[in-house]
Amino acid sequence: MSRLFYQTRLARPELDRAEGIHMWDVTGKRYIDGSSGAMVSNIGHSNPRVLAAMHKQMERATFGYRLHFQTEASEALAERAAALAPEGLGRVFFVSGGSEAVESAMKLARQYALSRGEAQRYKVIARTPSYHGATLGALSVTGYAPMTAPFDPMMRPMPKVPAPRAYLDGLDAEDPATGLHYAAMLEARILEEGPETVLAFIVEPVGGASTGALVPPAEYMREIRKICDTYGVLLIHDEVMSGGGRTGRFFGAEHWDVAPDLICLSKGFGGGYVPLGAVIARDDMVETVLDHGGFIHGHTYAGNPLACAAGLAVLEEIDTQDLTGNAARMGDVLASRLRDLKQKYPVIGDVRGKGLLLAFELMRDRASKAPLPATLNAHSRLVEIAYENGLILYSRRTRGGLSGDHFLVCPPMIVNAEQVEEIVDLLDKSLARFVAELPA
Ligand code: PLP
């Protein structure tokens, strides 16, 4: 028995090596990484230029504590990340993962409010379903009861509003009235809580694992920006999964041309080469906090030169290979092939997403949108079948909401048209077996 444990005792084969979109276990079996791990390995595995950049940095220094040294790598990565962000968001705080990015954004927001004499602002409104991380602060803004409920007494759960799941509510996502309808729920909640107590609103511009690549309806993103401005509420975009080019733009929110006050980044930012994340913040917010005694926060490994050198090389690959453009192009092809599978398999109730942040959702019945019975464990069964067929998928059952089992199909952004067809063929084969196993 392994001494290791994670969520469960789930035993997986031992990984031998990985290259491009492929991974091999020690028996020699090959898998297509159809979910880029957990939407992390965006530029593919074992990229030689990233490995070379890491080697070069390792030979200089692998660690320099941030309070003792600045490094060329961290300065260069901060410069590059800020250049990608909307105007006015020019300050970068490094962390080592998504949960740390969310914690840091919330703490910076709070200290900014304190610096401005708004001590009563502390509530961070979030959405249900949503996922913002596993640490207690990030869990307090996570709208997913199976993960939060056991810890409720240990944290201060934050107010939630429904995520705009137009497809489940039978609303037209293209109709601006739909976006305004869901955004109005945020305004109502701010008023109910007392606007003077609300610090921030946190949102995943394109949903990740919790909603299964939920794309906001027309006007939603712009309207929530307006509402936040009206009530002096800061807007945090959690781009941990949607950032890094996967949606076909570097930041998911670029599709709607809206700028937040704070951006959380991780996953594809380090590309699976190193644990890396960042908060990109409005310059004036950071200046205000630094003028009022400094930011009371930081993690030991933050901004270490090895992680930053790898992150910089990842961003260079995304740029020089136009991987964001490829994500948009291949995402269109894959989405259209997933819609073909929806035609073939009535059990697929919805296909959604942007670029290569794509998902499909299984339902018992498309008309009623009823989920498959939980006892079928469809989210894990289909993943197991696909795994046997050599395709890695990422799934979730959103028990916290109305939806059922959804599956993220998010191959690395280097995927080509031929490989997309191979992914779809493996998925087709897996769905055929899954459907054959369903009780009559
Ligand atoms: N935010 C979002 C949108 C995520 O998808 C995740 C992880 O899946 C996190 C935050 C937490 O990131 P991490 O697991 O690196 O702490």
The torsion angle over the Cα atoms of residues 61, 67, 71 and 76, rounded to 10 degrees, is: 140
CA of 120 to the centre of ligand 1 (A): 28
Averaged pLDDT for residues 85-110: 98
- % pLDDT > 90, the chain: 87
Instruction: From 266, 269, 274, 410, give the residue whose CB has the most ligand 1 atoms within 8 Å, as the site to mutate.
Output: 266
Averaged pLDDT for residues 19-32: 98
pLDDT at 347 over 90: yes
The number of the ligand 1 atom at minimal distance from the alpha carbon of 99 is 16
ipTM of the complex: 0.99
Of 354, 347, 361, nearest to 410 (Cα)?
Answer: 354
Half-sphere CA count of 400, side-chain side, radius 13 A:
21
pLDDT at 103 over 50: yes
Cβ neighbours of residue 366 under 8 Å, at least 6 residues apart?
Answer: 346, 349
Report how far apart the first and last C-alpha atoms of the chain are (Å, whole number).
38
Is residue 440 very low, low, confident or very high in pLDDT (cuts 50, 70, 90)?
confident
CA of 10 to the centre of ligand 1 (A): 21
Question: CA-CA distance, 246 to 356, in Å (whole number)?
Answer: 5
Instruction: From 132, 203, 237, give the residue whose CB has the most ligand 1 atoms within 8 Å, as the site to mutate.
Output: 132
pLDDT tens profile 122-156: 999 999 999 999 999 999 999 998 899 999 999 99
pLDDT tens profile 321-342: 999 999 999 999 999 999 999 9
CA of 55 to the centre of ligand 1 (A): 28
Domain chopping of the chain, boundaries: 15-46+322-437, 50-320
For the question of whether the overall pTM of this predicted structure is more than 0.90, the answer is yes
Instruction: From 106, 128, 241, give the residue whose CB has the most ligand 1 atoms within 8 Å, as the site to mutate.
Output: 241
CA of 241 to the centre of ligand 1 (A): 7
Task: Say if residues 409 and 423 touch (Cβ distance below 8 Å).
Answer: yes
pLDDT tens profile 153-205: 999 989 999 999 998 888 999 999 999 999 999 999 999 999 999 999 999 99
The number of the ligand 1 atom at minimal distance from the alpha carbon of 208 is 5
Averaged pLDDT for residues 256-264: 98
CA of 209 to the centre of ligand 1 (A): 9
Mean of per-residue pLDDT scores for the chain: 95
CA of 94 to the centre of ligand 1 (A): 15
Q: Does domain 15-46+322-437 have CATH number 3.90.1150.10?
A: yes
The number of the ligand 1 atom at minimal distance from the alpha carbon of 266 is 15
Task: Say if residues 114 and 97 touch (Cβ distance below 8 Å).
Answer: no
The number of the ligand 1 atom at minimal distance from the alpha carbon of 267 is 15
Is residue 304 very low, low, confident or very high in pLDDT (cuts 50, 70, 90)?
very high
Of 363, 355, 344, nearest to 407 (Cα)?
Answer: 363
CATH of domain 50-320: 3.40.640.10
The number of the ligand 1 atom at minimal distance from the alpha carbon of 275 is 15
Of 213, 184, 151, 183, nearest to 403 (Cα)?
Answer: 213
CA of 2 to the centre of ligand 1 (A): 26
The tokens describing 24, both together, are: 């091999």
Question: CA-CA distance, 339 to 248, in Å (whole number)?
Answer: 19
Sign of CA dihedral 297, 300, 304, 308: negative
Q: What is the DSSP letter of 340?
A: H
Question: CA-CA distance, 290 to 282, in Å (whole number)?
Answer: 13
Question: CA-CA distance, 169 to 341, in Å (whole number)?
Answer: 23
Cα distances (Å, whole numbers) of residue 54 to 8, 73, 284, 300, 307: 33, 10, 33, 20, 8
CA of 40 to the centre of ligand 1 (A): 10
Instruction: From 104, 131, 210, give the residue whose CB has the most ligand 1 atoms within 8 Å, as the site to mutate.
Output: 131
Averaged pLDDT for residues 260-276: 98
The number of the ligand 1 atom at minimal distance from the alpha carbon of 204 is 3
DSSP-derived secondary structure for 256-306: GT---SEEEE-GGGTTTTS--EEEEEEHHHHHHHHHTT------TTTT-HH
Question: What are the pocket residues of ligand 1 if the criterion is a CB atom closer than 6 Å to any ligand atom?
Answer: 38, 97-99, 102, 131-134, 204, 208-209, 238, 240-241, 266
Question: CA-CA distance, 129 to 145, in Å (whole number)?
Answer: 9
CA of 270 to the centre of ligand 1 (A): 13
CA of 138 to the centre of ligand 1 (A): 9
CA of 102 to the centre of ligand 1 (A): 8
Task: Give backbone dihedrals phi and psi of 377, rounded to 5 degrees, phi first.
Answer: 50, 45
CA of 337 to the centre of ligand 1 (A): 28
Instruction: From 36, 41, 139, 240, give the residue whose CB has the most ligand 1 atoms within 8 Å, as the site to mutate.
Output: 240
Domains 15-46+322-437 and 50-320 in one fold:
no
